[in-house]
Chain A
Amino acid sequence: MLFNSLIFWSFLPGFLLLYFATKGTARLWVCLAGSYLFYGWWDWRFLGLIILLTGFNYWCGLKISAVESGSLERKRYVGLSVVCSLVILGFFKYFNFFIDSFAGISGALGFGFNSGTMSIILPVGISFYTFQTMSYTIDLYRKQVEVERSLLKFSVFVGFFPQLVAGPIVRARDFMPQLQTDRVVEWEDIRRGTNLILWGFVLKVLMADNLAVTVDRAFQDPTAVSGLYLLIGVVFYAFQIYGDFAGYSLIAIGLARIMGFHFNVNFNRPYLATSFSDFWQRWHISLSSWLRDYLYIPLGGNRQGATRTKINLMLTMLLGGLWHGAAWTFVAWGALHGTYLILQRVLADSASRLLSVSLCRFLGWVSVFSGVLLAWVFFRAQNFGEAFLIIEKIVTLDGFEPSTILRKFFFLKGALLIVAVFGFEWLSTRIDFDALARRYGVLNYLYIVSVLLLLSLFGMFEGGAFIYFQF
């Protein structure tokens, strides 16, 4: 089910009714059944995969907690959990990618290798729930979380529908304690949750899906459009993917909040970042913090000298790129971000010595935004040829005339929506709208009515899937 589909909004009231009508174990069963129904609606056969991963990691968790810390057996069980999760993820997501890449390399070296690719369907959300289960067993091994002895609670932790298919990746240490007691839902949870959901829909249905019209046209055949239109397409894509993914996260966090669960924010106005490390503290926070805690820091982080730090940064970003999809363009996207982070480490000190703080911040913002745009070209393009063609046409100012802008009404609408949404987000860094709405209830009504009317007037209700479902 998609959050922006009629079927989801038919499912949700019935689910919430049952959720609030029950308590204790019954409520957890409602949660689990609802979550499996939500996921199974897409393809019930892949429920088996979630159940398998849940059961296996639950068993590993019990085993890890049963043996003494520091013992080899404890290491074996956590290793088994991580390896099995990665093997499953690797098979469904990367099997064809590695086979094709191997065939390409062996072909280039003169060895014939006939790669018969298998038709493997990528289960929705597999990257998210495998990372979630891995974090549980690793945290358990590190004694940062208590073992969960209830299979039902552990199953809800893995399969909880609001964040099951596209995150945020919730850590066991944050979520598990909340499953131990019945959540008491206060008025504030409903108010805040509703507001988050509505803003999520603004980002997705109002902004991202409208921008998609221009973006799809630009990337559909870059040879047929001008450099100016491609530049617009790239800029719009930056905001489309933000709206799409941040929108999903907000809806997920809002739904969880209505049910009484508190999840951390996943996006914090990333395009206002003034350095690349700042960007990664604002963009897909649950993934970047996961990569930091379970990859970058175990690799040595910044504790083993400058060169090793740079290698660790690059490795983390390369794997972060590969996490998004089985294609070299995603690896290139990660490599670019890794390079940015390394360059920032090299240049930041000199820049801060030579330039004033405000100029430094401004130049930082400009370079972060431009660098992120460049990286999005590789993220969105089908292949390297297409990415380089887009960059070439933009850099050489090919056809930079306003008359080359196609579907001008969608361009104008998109541009206005970006200004409006980001104007509001920028304002919200100066004015605490939530505190105002909490204090003056009428403002909250005004917000809800305005958002719903805007959605009705300008939203795209074609049921466009969320971009991050493919990851």
Chain B
Amino acid sequence: MKFSTLRRLFASFVILVVLLFSADRFGSYALDLVVKQSGFRFSELYAGGNSAEIVILGNSRAVNAFYAPDLEKKLGRSVFHLGYNGMSTELCEAIIFDYLDHNKKPSLIILEVTNLGVSNDLIKDIKLYAGLSTRLRSLIQREDPQLNRACAFTHLYRYNSELFLRTLFYTGKSDQAWINSGNIDPDFAINFVPSEEEQSQNLYPITGSNWKALQRLVVKCAAEGIELRLVASPYLPAFRNNLALYDSWVDTFHASLPEADLFYDYTQSLTDSEYFADTLHINRKGSRALLDAMIQDGVFNSESL
């Protein structure tokens, strides 16, 4: 290579580094403003000032099982849904602790607890908010140091996330009014036999870190005077009946958690396929039926509500 080419290469490299660094930092600053303006649940969380009396947490089963507007209407209480697809118990812990840091303390927390076996893969998406949360940053650092380094190197990479697209979609509007209105094919619902992988993907094995997170959550809620309800929402009967290990899972749960009366098992409460969107998730009609059952069982009876 000629010396002049080498010199030009070096100069171009320096110019590019400066341009890239500036564009990355300026761009991420601008996008951060957009994210903060969004009505998406986590943006609202970090914006602060929320004063919901009931907060809901969990993975997609919680997203589908609890419809915040219905709860508000039936209970006459303000409700904030913080659940999200693929959210592990450990992430729920980080999110609710952040919620308590930024918002008014709720009276009741409902945790859909069948996410105890869920991994922390959601960190790849929720890194969007890592700049606003030391808890999320330390979780990412522990789970995926390479991802953490990438986010530090290029700030724009934090916005490389499905959640970012959702924050854009919910700019200027709330995301709380979403519910699955689909319906599972009745023939499929009757003949469905879950594979071993399907049986294990939601409940088993309970990861140690999720279990510890749940225990910390119980202690924290008790210390803060927040009532906590652990709920297992309905499964399609064909799915639930084939969860051979479910009973032992519940036994472990009761034996290990002293506050076992916190736990409400609705996994078999709905039997008709019209209540289900798919094998794992209930639909709008199912969520209403579940809500009625929970009200009847006094799940929402709270001293502080």
Cβ of A69 under 8 Å from chain B: no
A453–B30 CA distance with the chains assembled, in angstroms:
14
Q: Which residue of A lies closest to B278 (CB)?
A: A224
Contact residues in A for B182 (Cβ distance below 8 Å): 403
Contacts of A410 in B (CB 8 A): 162
Chain A residues in 8 Å Cβ range of B166? 409
Tell me, yes or no, whether B160 is within 8 Å of chain A by CB. Answer: yes
C-alpha gap A456/B27 in the complex (Å): 11
A118 at the interface (CB under 8 A from B): no
Is A457 within 8 A of B156, CB to CB? yes
Task: Provide the residues of chain A in CB contact with B4, threshold 8 Å.
Answer: 187
A to B contact number (C-beta, < 8 Å): 51
A20 at the interface (CB under 8 A from B): yes
In the bound complex, what is the Cα–Cα distance between A403 and B8 (angstroms)?
54
Chain A contacts for B156, CB-based, 8 A: 453, 456-457
In the complex, whether B223 has a CB less than 8 A from a CB of chain A is no
Bound-complex Cα distance A311 to B47 (A): 69
Smallest CB gap from A187: residue in B: B5
A445 interface residue (CB < 8 Å to B) = yes
A413 to B168, CA, bound (A): 12
Q: A403-B182, A449-B16 are in contact. Are A456 and B8 (CB under 8 A)?
A: no
Alpha-carbon gap, A185 to B8, bound state (A): 13
Which residue of the partner chain, among A190, A403, A409, A448, contacts B16 with CB atoms under 8 Å? A448
Contact: A190 with B27, CB < 8 Å?
no
Asked if A458 and B19 sit within 8 Å, CB to CB, the answer is no
**A186 adjacent to chain B (CB < 8 Å):** yes
Decide if B162 touches A445 in the complex (CB within 8 Å): no
CA distance A187 to B27 in the complex (A): 30
The residues of B that contact A247 with a CB separation of less than 8 Å are none
Q: How far is the CA of A457 from the CA of B20 in the complex (A)?
A: 13
On chain B, the residues within 8 Å of A409 by CB distance are 162, 165-166, 169
Contacts of B8 in A (CB 8 A): 187
Given contacts A20-B1, A409-B165, A413-B165, contact A445 B23 (CB under 8 A): no
When C-beta atoms are compared, the residue in chain A nearest to B162 turns out to be: A409
* CB neighbours of A355 from chain B (8 A): none
Which residues in B have their C-beta under 8 angstroms from that of A458?
Answer: 160
> Across the two chains, which residue of chain B brings its CB closest to A458?
B160
B154 A185 Cβ-Cβ under 8 A: no
**Beta-carbon nearest neighbor of B164 in chain A:** A457
Chain B 165-179 interface 0/1 with A at a Cβ cutoff of 8 Å (1 = within) = 110010000000000
CA distance A445 to B15 in the complex (A): 9
User: With A445-B15, A448-B16 in contact, is A453–B165 under 8 Å at CB?
Assistant: no
List A221-253 residues whose CB lies under 8 Å from chain B.
none
In Å, the complex CA distance between A458 and B23 comes to 16
Inside 8 A of A403's CB, which chain B residues have their CB?
Answer: 181-182
The docked-state distance in angstroms from the alpha carbon of A201 to that of B74 is: 52
Minimum distance in angstroms from B92 CB to a CB of chain A = 22
Q: Which residues of A contact B157 (CB under 8 A)?
A: 456-457
- Secondary structure at the A interface, as helix, strand, loop or mixed, is helix
Nearest residue (CB) in B for A454 is B156
Mark interface residues in B126-151 (1 if CB within 8 Å of A CB, else 0): 00000000000000000000100010
Output the nearest chain A residue to B157 by Cβ-Cβ distance.
A456
Which of A184, A453, A457: most chain B CB closer than 10 A? A457
Q: Does B9 contact A (CB under 8 A)?
A: yes
Q: Does B53 contact A (CB under 8 A)?
A: no
Partner of B24, one of A187, A445, A448, A453: A453
| Chain B contacts for A6, CB-based, 8 A | 146
Of A186, A190, A412, A453, which is within 8 A of B23 by CB? Answer: A453
Alpha-carbon distance A459/B150, docked complex (angstroms): 13
Q: Contacting B159 at CB < 8 Å: which of A412, A449, A457?
A: A457
Any chain B CB within 8 A of the CB of A443?
no
Q: How far is the CB of B191 from chain A (nearest CB, A)?
A: 12
Q: Check if B162 sits within 8 Å of A457, measured CB to CB.
A: no
Produce 1/0 per residue, B1-25, CB < 8 A to A.
1101100110010011001100110
CB distance from B301 to the nearest CB of A (A): 37
> Contacts A403-B182, A409-B166, A445-B19 known; A456 to B160 CB distance under 8 Å?
yes
Indicate whether A449 sits within 8 Å of B154 (C-beta atoms), given known contacts A190-B5, A458-B160.
no
Q: Give CA–CA (A395, B213) in the complex, Å.
A: 50
Q: Which B residues touch A346, using CB under 8 A?
A: none
Q: Give the complex CA separation of A403 and B12 in angstroms.
A: 49
Closest to B5 in A: A187
Expressed in whole angstroms, the minimum distance between the Cβ of A113 and any Cβ of chain B is: 32
Among B16, B150, B181, chain A packs the most CB atoms within 10 A around the CB of B16
Report the bound CA distance from A412 to B8 in whole Å. 41
Instruction: Determine the distance from Cα of A335 to Cα of B169 in the docked complex, in whole angstroms.
Output: 45
Interface residues of A in 390-438 (CB under 8 A from B): 403, 409-410, 412-413
Which among B20, B146, B150, B162 is the interface contact of A449 at CB below 8 angstroms? Answer: B20
Q: Which residue of B lies closest to A190 (CB)?
A: B9
Q: Which of A185, A452, A457 interacts with B5 by CB under 8 Å?
A: A185
Contact B1 A185 (CB under 8 A): yes
- Asked if A459 meets B23 with Cβ closer than 8 Å, knowing A187-B5, A413-B165, the reply is no
Tell me the complex Cα distance, A452–B22, Å.
Answer: 13
Q: Within the complex, what minimum Cβ distance (angstroms) separates B96 from chain A?
A: 25
A309 to chain B, nearest CB (A): 50
A226 → B minimal CB distance (Å): 11
Contacting residues, chain B, for A457 (C-beta < 8 A)? 156-157, 159-160
Contact with B along A161-199 (1 / 0, CB 8 A): 000000000000000000000001111001000000000
List 15 A-B pairs, Cβ < 8 Å.
A6-B146, A187-B4, A187-B9, A190-B5, A190-B9, A409-B165, A445-B15, A448-B16, A449-B19, A449-B20, A452-B20, A453-B27, A457-B159, A459-B160, A461-B160
User: What 13 new A-B contacts, CB under 8 Å, besides A445-B15, A453-B23?
Assistant: A184-B1, A187-B8, A190-B5, A190-B9, A409-B166, A448-B16, A453-B156, A456-B154, A456-B156, A456-B157, A457-B157, A457-B159, A461-B150
Interface positions of A (Cβ within 8 A of B): 6, 20, 184-187, 190, 403, 409-410, 412-413, 445, 448-449, 452-453, 456-459, 461
Shortest beta-carbon contacts, A-B, top 3: A456-B156, A187-B5, A185-B1
